[in-house]
Amino acid sequence: MELKQKGEEANVGGFKQLMIAMKWTTAADFDLAAAYEGKDGKIGLVYFGELGDLNKFPFMQLSGDEGVGDKGGQNEETMRLAKLDELKNVWLICWDYGKVKDGSAARFKDSDVNLSIIDDKGTTYSVKLDTGDMGNVAIIATIDNTSAIGAKLINTSKAGTLKGLKTLEDLMAIIRS
């Protein structure tokens, strides 16, 4: 199922594991990350500096870092999400590392960033970044686990600007704006 435009959504229901792959060929040092909010209100971030753990909260793990130094080609970063029970929301994020460091605009508009989300039943969801907004961080998709009938995946496609990643609150302000 493709979620090409901002606001499109799909029910992902229950799953044992999701595999999230962010792919791009643009010569940019993009990074996949996931901000999360637990049902207890705790917030956190899984990214290249904190790869996470599939066996303990938040039950997410990032593969590593690709495209370092604005390398073009077949770049891919993957993240696994093993358990959603204790999470209220997960925001799947792409940022342009060099641009976040200096606070300048990223190259999202001219990029080919795409997320593929595959559940353990083999269903694939494709989410295309759909923003022409200026910024150096983009919330590509949201996994909303607040409904009693199961989680839904939403094409969020929202951009914002960070100057360094000093605090998680700076990123959460973009997510909640």
pLDDT of residue 67: 57
Domains along the chain with CATH numbers:
2-176 (2.60.60.30)
- C-beta contacts of 50-58 below 8 A and 24+ residues apart: 52/79, 54/80, 54/82, 55/82, 57/86, 58/86, 58/87
Q: Is the pLDDT of residue 116 over 90?
A: yes
Task: Report residue 68 as tokens.
Answer: 């370092």
Compute the average pLDDT of residues 108-117. 87
- Name the least confident of 69-73, 120-124, 130-134: 69-73
Compute the average pLDDT of residues 132-161. 90
pLDDT of residue 133: 73
Compute the average pLDDT of residues 147-165. 90
Compute the average pLDDT of residues 23-43. 92
Q: Is the pLDDT of residue 129 over 60?
A: yes
Of residues 22 and 68, which shows the higher confidence score?
Answer: 22
Q: Is the pLDDT of residue 69 over 70?
A: no
- Provide the phi-psi class of 135: left if phi over 0, else alpha when psi is between -120 and 50, else beta: left
pLDDT of residue 54: 94
